[in-house]
């Protein structure tokens, strides 16, 4: 089955700097790659996603890039703010998220004021 | 819309006891899922359902059972609880639609087995 690895497990950045979180996946049939944000004690919420026919997607300060050849995708957060502090999870699916999403182990991002 | 709701919020079970975690959604989503989240780990899929009457195993189904008699409800049954089932359980739902594959999560149930 699919295996998703996520790095780093913890990340601290100064407010205003950029943060990058990286994931690799094992199943070349995967075609959907969402990123979820989970604040302490809260439920995960989708922040951005990308399909395999797109190399990059941007939404304001958040962007995701996908390299299908390397089976690698990354989350980029620019101009970080204190409210960006949370745990971020990447995931991969072979059926556009319907049915089995395989999650990475998460990155705890801390924004230092 | 209430979205995805889960009950109870917290529960402590003794080893060997059984319980049902309730999950309901009012968004008419056809897909529903149960995940568990262990401390410092990602979410692991326990069971999922593609519609009423249809369920299938995820990555970690042992010790759990599910049913899906209606579109709205997807209860998770724990039989003979074990300490290894101590976790936070999230229910989620989604619908098949072009361009939108988001899974909507419930608030979670924190279960402790002692």
The pLDDT tens digits for B24-48 are: 999 999 999 999 999 878 899 999 9
| Nearest-angstrom CA–CA distance, B33 and A86 | 23
Does the pLDDT at position B84 exceed 70? yes
* A27, A57, A103: best to mutate for the B interface, most B CBs within 10 A: A103
Do B43 and A105 count as a contact with CB atoms less than 8 A apart? no
Spatial CB neighbours of A23, under 8 Å, sequence gap ≥ 6: A4, A5, A6, A7, A33, A72, A73, A74, A75, A90, A92, A104
Give the confidence band of B95 by pLDDT, cuts at 50, 70, 90: confident
- Contacting residues of B for A30, CB less than 8 Å apart: none
What pLDDT is recorded for position B41? 84
- Which residues of B sit within 8 Å Cβ distance of A? 31, 33, 40-45, 48, 50, 56, 58-59, 90, 94, 96, 101-103, 105-108
Phi, psi torsion values for B61, nearest 5 degrees:
-85, -15
pLDDT in tens, A22-48: 999 999 999 999 999 999 999 999 999
| E strand segments, A1-113 | 4-7, 10-14, 19-25, 32-38, 45-51, 56-59, 62-67, 72-77, 86-92, 102-103, 107-112
On whether any CB of chain B is under 8 Å from the CB of A34, the answer is yes
Distance CA A28, CA A43 (A): 29
pLDDT tens by residue, chain A, 113 residues? 889 999 999 999 999 999 999 999 999 999 999 999 999 999 999 999 998 888 999 999 999 999 999 999 999 999 999 999 999 999 999 876 666 899 999 999 999 99
* Residue-averaged pLDDT of chain B: 94
């Amino acid at each position: 089955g699919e295996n998703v690895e996520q790095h780093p497990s913890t990340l601290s950045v100064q407010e205003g700097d950029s943060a990058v979180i990286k994931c690799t996946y094992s199943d070349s049939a995967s075609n959907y790659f969402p990123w979820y944000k989970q604040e302490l004690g809260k439920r995960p919420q989708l922040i951005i996603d990308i399909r395999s026919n797109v190399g990059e997607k941007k939404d304001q300060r958040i962007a995701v890039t996908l390299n299908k050849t390397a089976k690698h995708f990354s989350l980029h957060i620019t101009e970080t703010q204190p409210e960006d502090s949370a745990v971020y999870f990447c995931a991969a699916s072979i059926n556009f998220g319907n049915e089995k999403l395989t999650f990475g182990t998460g990155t705890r991002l801390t924004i230092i004021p | 819309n209430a979205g995805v709701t889960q009950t109870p919020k917290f529960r402590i079970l003794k080893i060997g006891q059984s319980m049902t975690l309730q999950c309901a959604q009012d968004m008419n989503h056809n897909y529903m899922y149960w995940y568990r989240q262990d401390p410092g780990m990602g979410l692991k899929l326990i069971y999922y359902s593609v519609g009423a009457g249809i369920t299938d195993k995820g990555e970690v189904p042992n010790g759990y059972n599910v049913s899906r008699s209606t579109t709205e409800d997807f209860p998770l049954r724990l039989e003979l609880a074990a300490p290894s089932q101590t976790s936070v359980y999230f229910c989620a739902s989604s619908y098949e639609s072009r361009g939108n594959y988001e899974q909507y999560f419930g608030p979670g149930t924190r279960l402790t087995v002692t």
